[in-house]
Structure 1
């Protein structure tokens, strides 16, 4: 698996990461097979969150990977915190961040996280408090690198003003059928919906500040409205992905991930499949370099406008 640097760090990560949100859908034997397949493909980057399965996904992963010191040294673990339920709310308080990380480490059976992300923007965030939490986690060795998820440039700048540690990653929903980060930049000054800047120019901001964008749900359209692969609503996109895939003897899923990897922002898609064969297809994208013509062909086939 081809690797890249995460943000401005020296940490080498595979260009594709495995999202573990759906591990509870697998029994332990299937989870073991899935994790082993990922490692065999060179994908040793696993993305978690304290809310995935109410913490059960992290527990299942630790059992599936047979966590022990030699295993821990060979994998990269990322988790997220900040979303709470009963009642639903976001929480960036120092107390919650610290207790959440302790729970994450306990469930993953490890002493440290490689990366911790804040999951969703907390309207009541006090950046000084977050900075204190990060400092304690960093100096104690519990977390090595820090990032955010679903944040715009202003939110990141406000947080970074107080942090000693750099923000190294930002998870954002992105894919051919959810490409507003790109379409707003292409349709600058145009009077159409594609030109609406919905994120404050987060794509360019992350590139300027060495923050790795980690696209989540890259096959989704809308907000968890389903995948576009084999979806009749996206017939042109699927036909295009199939044709380009046939050209390179890969699947449409491979071509869809290759489309993300072709962008010069050096994004690291986090894929949520729990199917071993689909994961193998996705991993093939690391070795596929689409032409400029093919990239724009997929972009337009997804219904994205060119001015």
Structure 2
């Protein structure tokens, strides 16, 4: 069988690993209690496990466990200062978490919020600069000129070196680009073997089912055409195909998990690596931002970018997880 041409080159213009350590799991509960010693130990272990499989990039956000995730990572960097120049640090801002009396979380890409958020991120991480800042969610009230002003100030002051977005469509990125000359080099989206609307939007064009997809038309294509690195959050599909209990799941999920297990055995690797390899086989050169902080599961991702799936294997996994044949 023929194999897909694998694009392993990132589009960031800086040397980064194909797997990124996500830190949303650091810090325990999303409360205002300070990080405990056990949680700091967990941070050290997660970073060490990531380094052991060649990861050189860490992703966070100002809201993760209400700042504790960044504070823990900052403690790790303070106790191992030699790591800062070895690591690409990426964080996100733009969400205000719900407080007592609020109806909901809200999104805020105002100049003042972006600037104050970055100051908080740098303080918690204990670093003078971020390699990459992502705008976390599209804000219906965002003004491209105001956002652009904030980005220019952050770049000029040396606080942020590169910028990107998260959870944004092609049209939203295009709107933001009207307010700044700074390129957006990343778009972080929910992509995985268990979250398929980014592919279904492609194969369902010109069919009624297309209108049911959550991924706006052309988003993946826009990023590829404009040199924007696609990053996948949730790429392990919350363990659905790599050992999590499947009680209550539909039959096609169990069938896909069995297929992943079979491929892992045939290729002498882990189920986690197969799930990531499926994502990385896509020619967009997708980076996988793994959300686990378990050293065992981090280490199970080792070598995913080196696994070769045939076109038939890739499509069999896609169609199985999709639960229905392609048109």
TM-score range, shorter chain: over 0.9
Are the structure 2 counterparts of residues 246 and 5 from structure 1 closer, same or farther at C-alpha, using a change threshold of 3 Å?
A: closer
Q: What do residues 37-73 of structure 1 show as CA deviations (whole Å, max 9, x unaligned)?
A: 2112210200010000111111101212435653211
Is 1:147 matched up with 2:164? yes
After superposition, residues 261-276 of structure 1 pair within 5 angstroms as 261-276=280-295
Is 1:246 matched up with 2:249? no
Is 1:95 matched up with 2:112? yes
Q: What do residues 274-301 of structure 1 show as CA deviations (whole Å, max 9, x unaligned)?
A: 1111111112202212111111111011
Distance in 2, matches of 1:282 and 1:253, equals 6
Partner of 2:33: none
Partner of 2:67: 55
Taking CA–CA contacts closer than 8 Å with sequence separation of 6 or more, which of the two structures ends up with the larger relative contact order?
2
The alignment's C-alpha RMSD in Å is 1.9
Partner of 1:10: 13
Partner of 1:77: 89
Q: What do residues 202-225 of structure 1 show as CA deviations (whole Å, max 9, x unaligned)?
A: 11111011111111112337xxxx
2:297 to 266, 278, 286: 278
Partner of 1:64: 76
Q: Report if the CA contact (8 A) 1:5-1:12 is conserved.
A: no
Partner of 2:207: 190
Distance in 2, matches of 1:145 and 1:296, equals 35
1:256 to 258, 275, 278: 275
Structure 1 unaligned spans of 5+: none
* TM-score normalised to structure 1 length: 0.92
Q: Report if the CA contact (8 A) 1:45-1:78 is conserved.
A: yes
Is 1:22 matched up with 2:25? yes
Distance in 2, matches of 1:173 and 1:288, equals 22
Distance in 1, matches of 2:41 and 2:215, equals 43
Structure 2 unaligned spans of 5+: 1-6, 29-37
Q: Report if the CA contact (8 A) 2:58-2:88 is conserved.
A: yes
Are the structure 2 counterparts of residues 158 and 215 from structure 1 closer, same or farther at C-alpha, using a change threshold of 3 Å?
A: same
After superposition, residues 106-185 of structure 1 pair within 5 angstroms as 106-185=123-202
Q: Report if the CA contact (8 A) 2:23-2:60 is conserved.
A: yes
Partner of 2:35: none
When structure 1 is superposed on structure 2, of 208-217 and 196-205 the one drifting more is: 196-205
Are the structure 2 counterparts of residues 286 and 194 from structure 1 closer, same or farther at C-alpha, using a change threshold of 3 Å?
A: farther
Distance in 1, matches of 2:80 and 2:215, equals 44
Distance in 1, matches of 2:120 and 2:180, equals 23
When structure 1 is superposed on structure 2, of 284-293 and 270-279 the one drifting more is: 284-293
Alignment: residue pair count: 300
SS of equivalent to 2:182: coil
